[in-house]
Amino acid sequence: MSFFSPDPSKHDKEPTTMASRILSFCFAALLGVVLLYLAIELLAQIWGWLVLIGVIALGAVAAIWIYRWRSSRW
């Protein structure tokens, strides 16, 4: 079997109907909305801690930058 003569057993399935495709899309969209809602709820609970960690990291980077800048001067 090559690219130009594909395996005929793979094409023996019946084609999916339009209603089946629409239903599959609706389930996928519903799952996406539910997962997005859960992600937003999780972020709403921990966003304060994330901001605090970001401020601490930014302060550490600024302190290291200032220390290097002051020690490199003559």
Along the 74 residues of the chain, how does pLDDT read in single tens digits?
Answer: 556 666 666 666 777 899 999 999 999 999 999 999 999 999 999 999 999 999 999 999 999 999 999 998 76
Note whether residue 1 is domain-resident.
no
Q: Is 10 a domain residue?
A: no
Q: What pLDDT is stored for residue 13 in this prediction?
A: 73
Does the residue 2 lie in any domain?
A: no
Residue 37 domain flag:
yes
Count the domains in the chain. 1
In sequence order, what are the residues at sequence separation of 6 or more whose Cβ sits closer than 8 angstroms to the Cβ of residue 50? 43
Residue 31, domain extent: 16-72
Q: Tell whether 35 is covered by a domain.
A: yes
Q: What pLDDT sits at residue 41?
A: 96
Q: What is the pLDDT of residue 36?
A: 98
| Dihedral class, residue 2 (left if φ above 0, else alpha if ψ from -120 to 50, else beta) | beta
Task: Note the pLDDT of residue 73.
Answer: 77
pLDDT at 4: 66
- Cβ within 8 Å of residue 1, ≥6 positions away: 7
Residue 11 lies in a domain: no
